[in-house]
């Protein structure tokens, strides 16, 4: 859901009221927004491409928001976007995940910053525990997820410290100053060397993903929060 800081105002309204109208005060900083209702289209102003491989498909079986979500089969299904740039400052990468099973290393997303075999940055469920591994902060874990339920997961870098939030509850922060180059973002598995599919069936996510949002330059969450029941907004204060 959208993040609001109570101190912000737009037109005399508090930020929470703005969010109730579907307005994102940090809209200009959103570099990727996938609703995954009826298509794989990026709704942000950046217009990134997102391509499904290996059986990744839209499904109406489950939905955190809207009409559907993207389904992954724990095999070779994967969704790969065109490059995004997280940079070296604050950012927020968030996603709604519905795990059907826990297989040990189920990749929710993978930021591919180098050739296959390099470290890159991987975010996966180690059984039920969200785990971040790679360039940015070594190994970092967050509070556990719930099987067969929607979980809001967020990776946030704020003033050089990285933290995982699960359903609004933050884990331990770890220093991570890595300056990300342009990199593809893969959802549901580890990408192949040519970014045209999954690297291996051993790392696949089994379940549904929904509401993917990448915000660059803004740490949306800096303390525990209540996850919104609304989908991520498609506009800022100016209606753009």
- Percent helix, strand, coil in the chain, to 5, is 5, 40, 55
What are 120's two structure tokens? 């890159």
pLDDT tens digits, the chain, 240 residues: what are they? 334 443 333 344 444 444 444 899 999 999 999 999 999 999 999 999 999 999 999 999 999 998 999 999 988 999 999 999 999 999 999 999 999 999 888 999 999 886 555 558 999 999 999 999 988 878 999 999 999 999 999 999 999 999 999 999 999 999 998 999 888 999 999 998 888 989 988 889 999 999 999 999 999 999 999 999 999 999 998 776
Rounded distance, CA 236 to CA 240, Å?
6
What is the reported pLDDT for 131?
A: 95
pLDDT at 78: 93
The pLDDT assigned to 138 comes to 83
Query: What is the reported pLDDT for 13?
Result: 41
Q: Which residues does 50 contact at the CB level (< 8 Å), separation at least 6?
A: 34, 40, 41, 42, 79, 80, 81, 82
What's the distance, CA 53 to chain centroid?
Answer: 19
pLDDT value, residue 150: 97
pLDDT of residue 42: 96
User: What's the pLDDT at 239?
Assistant: 72
Determine the pLDDT at residue 135: 84
Does residue 72 contact residue 207 with C-beta atoms inside 8 Å? yes
State the pLDDT at residue 119. Answer: 59
The confidence score (pLDDT) of residue 18 equals 46
Output the pTM of the full model.
0.89
């Amino acid at each position: 859901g959208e993040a609001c800081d109570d101190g912000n105002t737009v037109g005399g309204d508090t930020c929470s009221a703005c969010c109730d109208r579907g307005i994102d005060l940090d809209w200009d900083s959103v570099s990727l927004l996938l609703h995954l209702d009826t298509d794989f289209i990026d709704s942000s102003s950046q217009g990134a491409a997102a391509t499904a491989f290996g059986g990744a498909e839209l499904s109406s079986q489950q939905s955190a928001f809207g009409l559907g979500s993207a389904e992954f089969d724990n095999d070779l299904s994967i969704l790969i976007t065109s490059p995004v740039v997280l940079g070296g400052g604050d950012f927020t990468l968030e996603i709604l995940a519905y795990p059907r099973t826990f297989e040990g290393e189920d990749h929710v997303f993978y930021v591919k910053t180098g050739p296959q075999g390099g470290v890159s940055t991987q975010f996966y469920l180690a059984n039920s525990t969200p785990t971040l591994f790679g360039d940015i902060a070594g190994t970092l874990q967050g509070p556990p997820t719930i099987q067969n339920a929607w979980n809001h997961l967020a990776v946030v870098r704020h003033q050089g410290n990285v933290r995982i939030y699960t359903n609004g509850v933050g884990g331990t922060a770890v220093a991570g100053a890595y300056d990300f180059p342009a990199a593809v973002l893969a959802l549901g598995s580890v990408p192949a060397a040519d970014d045209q599919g999954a690297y291996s069936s051993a790392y696949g996510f089994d379940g549904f993903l929904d509401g993917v949002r990448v915000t660059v330059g803004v740490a949306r969450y800096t303390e525990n929060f209540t996850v919104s029941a609304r989908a991520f907004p498609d506009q800022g204060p100016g209606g753009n």
